Amino acid sequence: FDSLFDAAKELAGTESDAKVPVELLRYLCDSYQQIVERHTGKPFPQKPADQLRGAIEAVFRSWNGPRAIAYREREHIAHDLGTAVNVQAMVFGNRDDNSGTGVGFTRDPATGAKGAYGDFLVNAQGEDVVAGIRNTEPISELKKKFPKVHAELSKIFSRLETHYADMCDTEFTIEQGKLWMLQTRVGKRTGAAALKMAVDMVRPSDLGITRAEAVSRITEDHLDSVLHPQFAGSGYSVWAKGLGASPGAAVGRAVFTAEEAVEMSKGGPVILVRKETTPDDIHGMDVAKGILTAVGGKSSHAAVVARGMGRPCIVGAGSISIDERGQKFTVKSRVVKQGDWISIDGTTGAVYAGQVPTIEPDPHSGHFGKFMQWADEFRGTFGVRANADIPRDAKAARLFGAEGIGLCRTEHMFFAADRIPHMQAMILAREEKDRRKALQKLLPMQRKDFAGLFEAMDGFPVVIRTLDPPLHEFLPKREELMVDIARFPHLGGGGKKELAEKYNMKAGDLKKGLPELLKRVEELHEFNPMLGHRGCRLGITYPEITEMQARAIFEAAVQVAKKGKKVIPEVMIPLVGSEGELENQKAIVTRVAKEVLDKEKMNDLHYLVGTMIEIPRAALLADQIAQQAEFFSFGTNDLTQTTMGLSRDDYTKFSGEYQNLKIFKADPFQSIDQEGVGKLIETAIKLGRGVRNDLDIGICGEHGGDPSSVEYCYRVGMNYVSCSPYRVPIARLAAAQAAIAGADKSESMRTA
């Protein structure tokens, strides 16, 4: 249809739909009917009742269309709600030049600034505005062309915002000078606009919403979008310019279809470049870091959807010529092909070639800081910690409001280039004395790491998990090693030198050393590493590992405490399934702690020893384990895997089918499976607190940054959640919203 209409306009020598002459319109009507019959197998219906029924049924069928399903998945809307059809009289904005159509917001949905905002077109229908197929005029121009309509619309905007106590999105038509309001709804907005409006509407105003209402209005996506980076510095050459429709900086490789966006996003960030977007592109928009369109206004599909998703977006960049089939676009004489890097600024509308450096925003300034202060007041004593393994991440976590570290994975510290040789030496050692020799070299490195974390978290707890993964993860891959052994006799001096560097050996030791290394790798091979020789099992087999880590923790704690900072170490023993395992490892930790603290005369330094609840047996025997544990931290990643018999990595291969068939209510690795895994969690909390009523309980899996999981943790009486540093504000908000919603469990549940 569109290509025929474009051809008709070209033939008529016009860019305006309204100026296509009558004879061409007659031709188009005939051609359109032929298209319909060719594709549907029957003529276009001529009876109005048949047309109406067909339109109604089409809306009902659209509920299960791919784009509708994708939208519901993204917005967490139930699939069994169904939709309705509203039938109303038609008004025509394309009757003449005294008619028009538009989309208007009662405030700027990009910035939150007060005042009418939107787009309109003269002699056009609503589809022309929202489809982004024509460049529109700002609503301020309405005052010049339709002054009476503008005055009436302004009064209606004020009335709507007062009634709904929120920013409203409207659609209107002007038919021969008369204003008709078609619909209104609470409008989509960017994260920055949402925060500004929430804060502004609490201040003395006609709207007067409460702080609780303001906090409840902000979503995960709103916060996520304001935490997006901005371009660093200035002076970059602007390559093309459009309308900034959704703020933030985005850098990625150019792609030209939604399908390519999904595929290429697996290998890195992408920018979706389209002439205009349609609802069919929603899956590509969802994975893109930013969106760029050649046509459209600030109320076009691309603009509205991008703002709702929190994606930087530029629309109406008329200077770029897009060849979607050829997978390229041009600006003047410069060609950008698929896969080339571009950078876009959704605030200013500027497009840059290549990768422009970015900087992170300040999460304490302006409306964000004020809003988060309110959120923290509502969540009360419910804590939000961060998963952080290095001081840099710990500092970022503090910046985003983390109240401690809920998980430090010590194994991540051993993979550094200067440490892996010592780690491998420890693993390859056959005798305890040789293992201790290698561990002695790792001790100062671990101590330095822990000291950095304690300093960053001055006054807040730091949960440090002892070594968890199987030892073979620190060694070369078996197959790669076999290949290198096979090619070793054929290598020259340079090749052998390179191989020696790869395996941290002397060139003269390779002939004997490589087969010995392969033998050790094969000895450590496990059929199911997830259920193998890892966690507390490593510490029980090789107690010197736990001893070294405990010594590093407490020596670092003493070192930082002597600087006048408050240090709260919490040592977490992983993969415990019985009281005996925890008792064994706790004895090593407390013995080493006493040695270090006695020596430094710092016996008043408070610390805890607890465990990670990540296998079903631990949850079912939590009352026994609580005899030894001073805190529980649910490792919900592994607890989900061991409870459901699902590998997180393998589940992704068939999760699409499960999602389509609605077998699970949500992805169990994204949101806690409350029906199954949740029963174990609740059982463990009840049993553990029955033995030790001051038991500190939290979670440290990736679920800690998922809003629905945070609400669940609040409701079942946990003390805190822990998540990645950049999810901390989202977890703080989710906890506040859980408190406001009156989650079932009171503060008394969190007795610690």
Question: 211: which 2 tokens?
Answer: 């702080």
User: If residue 539 lies in a helix (H) or strand (E), which one and from where to where?
Assistant: helix 536-541
Q: Which of 150, 228, 283, 301 is catalytic?
A: 301
Distance separating alpha carbons of residues 700 and 727, to the nearest angstrom: 12
Distance separating alpha carbons of residues 628 and 610, to the nearest angstrom: 8
3-state helix, strand, coil in the chain (%, to 5): 50, 15, 35
Q: Indicate left, alpha or beta for 542 from its phi (over 0: left) and psi (-120 to 50: alpha).
A: beta
The DSSP 8-state label assigned to residue 605 in this structure reads -
Active site includes 163? no
Question: 486: which 2 tokens?
Answer: 């096979």
DSSP string over 504-547: T--GGGHHHHHHHHHHHHHHH--SSGGGSS-THHHHHH-HHHHH
Closest CA to 441 of 466, 411, 421: 421
The residue assigned the tokens 């939290």 is: 698
Looking at the DSSP bridge assignments, the partners of residue 274 are 293
Q: Which of 168, 408, 536, 700 is catalytic?
A: 700
Looking at the DSSP bridge assignments, the partners of residue 61 are none
How many helices (H) does the chain have, and how many strands (E)? 31, 26
> What residue type is assigned to position 457 of the chain?
M
Distance separating alpha carbons of residues 525 and 527, to the nearest angstrom: 7
Distance separating alpha carbons of residues 572 and 633, to the nearest angstrom: 8
Q: How far apart are the first and last CA of the chain?
A: 66
- Sign, CA torsion 178/180/186/188: negative
Active site includes 283? no
The residue assigned the tokens 């077998």 is: 663
Is the separation of the CB atoms in 412 and 389 below 8 Å?
yes
DSSP string over 665-697: SS-TTTS--TTTHHHHHHHHHHHHHHH-TT-EE
Residues marked active site are found at 301, 700
